[in-house]
Amino acid sequence: MTVVLDRDIADAPAIVSRDAVEAVKVDFVADRAAWDDLLAVAATPHLPQSFAYGEGKQATGWVVRRAVFRMAGKVVAFATVLERHVLGMRVLARVNRGPVFLDAAPAAHVQRAVYAALRGHWRGPLMIAPALNIGPDANRTLRSAGLVQRQSHGWLSGLIDLKRDEASIWDGFSSSFRNRVRAAEKGGAELHVSSDAETYEWMLARHADNMRDKGFRAVGSALLRALRDTDPAAVIVFQQLHQGTPVAGMSVVQFGHHAEYHIGWFGAEGRRLNGGNFLMWNIVREMRRRGVFSFDVGGMKPGDGYTRFKRTIRPVEYELSGEWWSI
């Protein structure tokens, strides 16, 4: 059954009584506006749970089902569930950085009930990268819901609080980061910000070049193009220009009051001219101007050079609780 959410989302209770735990109802959402409402009120949403990202996954062969979890008649969590079908039969279900809870600190029994409902509804192979912070509390919750840990470490990234004033954000960066931004500006760096299709195709081409030249695999053009086609205004490309020519670029996706850095490219001239510093600072400024509350730096890997760069902006780092499965 597919249902369209009513507008009760913001009224969801912060704590649901234990008596309601046994009555978790799973409904499905087709309406984009209702899904966007969820993202707007969730405390810590994640990009893979956005409507546009789900459309991107659908373009790569996944069947997308958008589920909401109700307790005592109120929505407490939501999740984009990806299904892989063979000959019309579901052979795998996957949730990436979800379910997302509306409450910033849901009680353990609420978390457990939602994960148990997810597991109960998608019987058979189910892979979950939970949107729970890594640690023994999350492990206990997930195991009590019947899940088994497959991988102990999950998505590692960092958040920048954009509700602060611009001066406070700037002062929070490392001195090396600030100095490189100043050097880029003194060197005549120009900024171009756009959401048009032509600029995005430029970004996709640079992304493909980057993967080929550096020998790594990442999200592909089919997903990225479908994501933008679903919500063009939410996908923003920042280019650094030198004498009118793009030398570096970064793409950001906005969802609700949050945004995440997604893909980037830095040519030799862009690296020489501190393109990463210049663009990251201007992304922060522009996202704050657009009313974004928090900016996710888009993933970090210990020992990685790009991660060392991201740490110079001193985000509040977080790590999610690995990979879990149920059969």
Provide the domain count of the chain: 2
Residues spanned by the domain of 73: 9-155+322-326
Query: Is 317 among the domain residues?
Result: no
pLDDT for residue 306: 87
Task: Flag whether pLDDT at 11 surpasses 80.
Answer: no
Measured CA to CA, the distance from residue 109 to residue 283 in angstroms comes to: 38
Task: Flag whether pLDDT at 8 surpasses 60.
Answer: no
Task: Flag whether pLDDT at 20 surpasses 60.
Answer: no
The confidence band for 22, taking pLDDT boundaries of 50, 70 and 90, is low
Across the range 296-322, mean pLDDT stands at 94
Report yes or no: 243 and 189 within 8 Å, Cβ to Cβ.
Answer: no
Q: Does residue 120 sit in the same domain as residue 235?
A: no
Report yes or no: 97 and 48 within 8 Å, Cβ to Cβ.
Answer: yes
Residue 193, helix vs strand vs coil: strand
Measured CA to CA, the distance from residue 68 to residue 79 in angstroms comes to: 7
Report yes or no: 106 and 131 within 8 Å, Cβ to Cβ.
Answer: no
Query: Is 305 among the domain residues?
Result: no
| Residues found in the chain | 327
CATH number of the domain encompassing residue 217: 3.40.630.30
Q: Does residue 135 sit in the same domain as residue 183?
A: no
pLDDT tens, residue by residue, 166-225: 999 999 999 999 999 999 999 999 999 999 999 999 999 999 988 888 877 788 889 999
Task: Flag whether pLDDT at 18 surpasses 70.
Answer: no
Cα→Cα distances 64→15, 51, 56, 126, 250, Å: 29, 10, 10, 14, 27
Q: Does residue 146 sit in the same domain as residue 231?
A: no
Q: Does residue 164 sit in the same domain as residue 142?
A: no
In DSSP terms, 74 is beta-bridged to 71
Query: Is 1 among the domain residues?
Result: no
Query: Is 310 among the domain residues?
Result: no
Q: Which two tokens stand for residue 29?
A: 């959402």
Q: Does residue 251 sit in the same domain as residue 131?
A: no
CB atoms within 10 A of CB 68: 22
pTM comes to 0.89
In DSSP terms, 58 is beta-bridged to none
The confidence band for 277, taking pLDDT boundaries of 50, 70 and 90, is very high
Query: Is 306 among the domain residues?
Result: no
Residue 83, helix vs strand vs coil: strand
Across the range 55-77, mean pLDDT stands at 95
Q: Which two tokens stand for residue 262?
A: 């997604």
Q: How many CA atoms lie within 13 A of 113 on its CB side?
A: 26
Provide, for the chain, the percentages of residues in helix, strand and coil under a 3-state DSSP scheme, each rounded to the nearest 5. 40, 30, 30
Which of 263, 62, 258, 287 shows the shortest CA–CA distance to 169? 287
Q: Does residue 214 sit in the same domain as residue 239?
A: yes
Q: Does residue 215 sit in the same domain as residue 231?
A: yes
Amino acid at 321: S
Report yes or no: 243 and 249 within 8 Å, Cβ to Cβ.
Answer: no
Q: Does residue 133 sit in the same domain as residue 170?
A: no
Task: Flag whether pLDDT at 12 surpasses 70.
Answer: no
Q: Does residue 91 sit in the same domain as residue 166?
A: no
pLDDT for residue 214: 81
Q: Does residue 117 sit in the same domain as residue 179?
A: no
Q: Percentage of the chain surpassing pLDDT 90?
A: 86
Which of 36, 26, 28, 24 shows the shortest CA–CA distance to 3? 28
Across the range 83-102, mean pLDDT stands at 96
pLDDT for residue 213: 83
CA angle, 123 then 127 then 130, to 5° = 115
Query: Is 313 among the domain residues?
Result: no
pLDDT tens, residue by residue, 220-267: 889 999 999 999 999 999 999 999 999 999 999 999 999 999 999 999
Q: Three-state SS string across 24-64, please?
A: EEEEECCCHHHHHHHHHHCCCCCHHHCHHHHHHHHHCCCEE
Cα→Cα distances 324→29, 82, 127, 327, Å: 25, 15, 6, 11
Q: Does residue 96 sit in the same domain as residue 200?
A: no
Task: Flag whether pLDDT at 3 surpasses 60.
Answer: no
Query: Is 4 among the domain residues?
Result: no
Query: Is 309 among the domain residues?
Result: no
Q: Does residue 228 sit in the same domain as residue 285?
A: yes
* Least trusted range by pLDDT, from 8-22, 45-59, 94-108: 8-22
pLDDT for residue 212: 85
Q: Percentage of the chain surpassing pLDDT 70?
A: 93
